[in-house]
Structure 1
Amino acid sequence: MRNFTFMLMLVVSVNGFSQKFTKDEKAFILAGDVKTALPIYQTNNEHQHRVLLAQSQDISPKDKTLPVLIDRMRLALAKTEGGVGIAAPQVGINRRVILVQRFDKTDYPVEYFINPKIVWRSELLNKGPEGDLSIDQFREPFYRSYSIRLEYYDLDNKKHDEMVEGFTAVIFQHEIDHLSGILISDKFRNEKTLQYKEVKVYQKPKN
Structure 2
Amino acid sequence: MKKYIMLGVALLVFASLQAQNITEADNQLINEGGAQTPMRVLQTTNPKDKMVLQTLSADVNLKDEMLPLLIQRMYSTVTDTLNPGVGIAAPQVGINKNVIWVQRFDKQGEPFEVYLNPKITWQSALLRKGPEGCLSIPDIRGDVLRSYTIRITYYDKDGKYHDEIVEGFTAVIFQHEIDHLLGILFTDRLEQQEQKHYTPINGEVNLFLEKPLKRQ
Scaled to the shorter chain, the TM-score interval is 0.7 to 0.9
Query: Which aligned pairs between 1:42-81 and structure 2 lie closer than 5 A?
Result: 42-79=43-80, 81=83
| Equivalent residues of 1:125, 1:198 under 8 A apart | no
How far apart, CA to CA, are the structure 1 residues paired with 2:113 and 2:147? 21
User: TM-score normalized by structure 2?
Assistant: 0.82
Q: Which residue of 2 aligns with 1:104?
A: 106
Task: Compute the displacement of 1:18 (Å).
Answer: 2.0
How far apart, CA to CA, are the structure 2 residues paired with 1:23 and 1:174? 28
Q: Which residue of 2 aligns with 1:149?
A: 151
How far apart, CA to CA, are the structure 2 residues paired with 1:135 and 1:48? 11
Would you say 1:35 and 2:36 are equivalent positions? yes
Task: Compute the displacement of 1:155 (Å).
Answer: 2.5
Task: Compute the displacement of 1:34 (Å).
Answer: 4.0
Q: Give the SS at the match of 1:69.
A: helix
Q: Quick one: structure 1 residues 195 and 112, their matched pair in 2 at CA, closer, same or farther if it must change by over 3 Å? A: same
Query: Which aligned pairs between 1:5-24 and structure 2 lie closer than 5 A?
Result: 18-24=19-25
| Equivalent residues of 2:34, 2:73 under 8 A apart | no
Q: Which residue of 2 aligns with 1:5?
A: none
2:133 to 131, 134, 153: 131
Residue type at the aligned position of 2:145: Y
| Equivalent residues of 2:35, 2:76 under 8 A apart | no
Q: Give the SS at the match of 2:27.
A: helix
Task: Compute the displacement of 1:33 (Å).
Answer: 3.5
How far apart, CA to CA, are the structure 2 residues paired with 1:141 and 1:61? 35
Question: Aligned-pair RMSD on alpha carbons?
Answer: 1.9
Q: Give the SS at the match of 1:18.
A: coil
Q: What runs of 5+ residues in structure 2 fail to find an aligned partner?
A: 1-15, 208-216
How far apart, CA to CA, are the structure 2 residues paired with 1:42 and 1:108? 27
Task: Compute the displacement of 1:52 (Å).
Answer: 0.2
How far apart, CA to CA, are the structure 1 residues paired with 2:179 and 2:147? 13
How far apart, CA to CA, are the structure 2 residues paired with 1:127 and 1:195? 13
Task: Compute the displacement of 1:117 (Å).
Answer: 0.1
How far apart, CA to CA, are the structure 2 residues paired with 1:63 and 1:168? 28
Task: Compute the displacement of 1:27 (Å).
Answer: 1.3
| Equivalent residues of 1:126, 1:198 under 8 A apart | no
| Equivalent residues of 1:127, 1:198 under 8 A apart | no
Q: Give the SS at the match of 1:111.
A: strand
